Amino acid sequence: MTVPTVSCTNCGTNFTTDDLRGTSCRYCGTVLAHHARAAQQVAVVNQMLADRNGNGIPDAFEGLVANAQANAMNQAFGGGAYPYGPYGGAGQPPMMGAPPMMGAAVHAHHAHAQAAQAMSKAVVVIVVTVVVVMFLIFGVGVAMYVAAAG
Ligand SMILES: [Zn+2]
């Protein structure tokens, strides 16, 4: 297995594998590029996964989840807020003497409400998957950082 040659970005010295175990160039003191990158990734991951309000969703993704859910609601209800339930939030029955088509429309809206709930769950699953995948990708950098630092 061949180790690719890495040289100092500052003084150009070709590093040996021993040199790469350090965090900075032993000749000029410049922080090694792969360490700077890994440390940066660790900081970014920590920032992204911070959950300051403790609701289980990383703060960086809360806006994303909220937007996705709002979009799902808008698509389902044509932009108009329509409360859950067949007769609206107040629970009043449909107007007396309403034409039969009215009832059909109400049922369609009810089905949309259920679809929107399912969509919201799917969105959460997608967001969680994205978080996990990103964590795995960054985790490779973190693992390299830890291995090199050890
Ligand atoms: Zn150097």
DSSP, residue by residue, 14-73: EEPHHHHHSSB-TTT-PBPHHHHHHHHHHHHHHHHH--TT-SSS-HHHHHHHHHHHHHHH
Residue 107 pLDDT level (bands cut at 50, 70, 90): low
- pTM value surpassing 0.75: no
pLDDT digits (tens, 9 = 90+) for 30-82: 888 777 788 888 888 888 788 888 888 787 777 777 788 788 878 777 655 54
Cα(47) to centroid(ligand 1), Å: 30
Chain-centroid distance, C-alpha 108: 32
Residue 14 C-alpha to ligand 1 middle, in angstroms? Answer: 9
Interval 71-106: pLDDT, tens = 887 877 765 554 555 554 455 555 555 555 555 555
Q: How far is the CA of 144 from the centre of ligand 1 (A)?
A: 20
Report CA(5)–ligand 1 centroid distance (Å): 14
